[in-house]
Structure 1
C-alpha cells in the first residue's frame, strides 16, 4: 500500500491569509489551488456569492512536507485548539527567534514565550492568527 499523509487545516475564515503568511515566513510554495468558483456549477449551490473566491483546496509545499488548507464553507464542526500543531525546526537560534518575533508581530498568541531550554538553544510556542499552533524549535547541536 502506498499513500501520503498531510496535515490539513480547515480555516473558519481567510485561508488565503494563512497561505500568504506561510509563503512569507517560510517560503511555502503553492502546488495546487482550487477555489469554490472552480467547482462544477451544481456543487456551488447554496454557496453565498461572496464565498466563491474562497479556497476549496490548496496544497502548499512547506519545508519537506505538504500541507493542505481550505476555507470552511460547509459549516463543518471546527474547534480551534492545540490537538494538531506543526513543529518547525530551524538550524540556527537566530532564525527561530526571527520567525517567532514575526509571528508575534502579526498577531499570534504566545503559548510559551521564546527561551532557551535544556533540549534546545531556543524554543517558542504560538497560536497563529488562524488558530494553528506552531512549535518553533532550534535543532539540537550534537
Structure 2
C-alpha cells in the first residue's frame, strides 16, 4: 500500500523552516541534500549551491515532512497553491507506474517517471484538477 507525505516548496528558506519544524516535532533529519551535490550544480549560480534540494523530517507514525528550495535560477517560481506536493511512496515500481500514469492522465507531467540520479524511481506531475503530485519508489 502506498503512503502519502507532504512535500513543501520554499523560496530559499527551507533550512530555516525545517530547523524550526525540528524544534517543534523533535527527531533527526533523515536526509539533507544540497544543490551543490547534484548533477545540475555546474549550471547553478553560487548563491544557490548551498540551498536544499531535499530534506526529510519524520513527524510521527510513518509520516515524513519533506521539502525543497524552489530556485528561480532553475525556472521555478512559487505562487500560492504550488508551494506543496503530495508525495506518494510506493512499494514497487509497478505500483509507481499504475499511480503515476493513472493520476497524471489529463494532467501535465513535470518530470517523467524514471530512475533518478539518486537511485529512486521518481516522477512529478500536476493532475487535471491542479494538484501537484510526486511518485517515488525506493528499491531495497
Candidates 36, 54, 57, aligned match of 1:57: 54
Contact 1:57 1:69 (C-alpha < 8 Å) held by counterparts: yes
Contact 1:29 1:62 (C-alpha < 8 Å) held by counterparts: no
- State how far apart, in whole Å, the 1-side matches of 2:5 and 2:26 are: 18
Deviation at 1:51, TM superposition (A): 1.1
Does 2:52 match 1:66? no
- State how far apart, in whole Å, the 1-side matches of 2:17 and 2:75 are: 19
Deviations 1:10-39 (A, max 9, x none): 101210001100011221421111100111
- State how far apart, in whole Å, the 1-side matches of 2:69 and 2:77 are: 13
Contact 2:36 2:50 (C-alpha < 8 Å) held by counterparts: yes
Number of aligned residue pairs: give it.
81
Which protein is bigger by CA-based radius of gyration? Answer: 1
- State how far apart, in whole Å, the 2-side matches of 1:15 and 1:28 are: 17
Deviation at 1:77, TM superposition (A): 3.7
Trace 1:1-142 onto structure 2 (pairs within 5 A): 2-40=1-39, 43-64=40-61, 65-73=63-71, 74-80=74-80
Unaligned runs of 5+ in 2: 85-140
Which 4+ residue blocks in structure 1 deviate beyond 6 angstroms?
none
Q: For the structure 1 residues 23 and 34, does the alpha-carbon distance in structure 2 shift closer, same or farther, using more than 3 Å as the test?
A: same
Deviation at 1:80, TM superposition (A): 2.9
Deviations 1:95-130 (A, max 9, x none): xxxxxxxxxxxxxxxxxxxxxxxxxxxxxxxxxxxx
Q: For the structure 1 residues 28 and 79, does the alpha-carbon distance in structure 2 shift closer, same or farther, using more than 3 Å as the test?
A: farther
Unaligned runs of 5+ in 1: 85-142
RMSD (Å) for aligned C-alpha atoms: 2.3
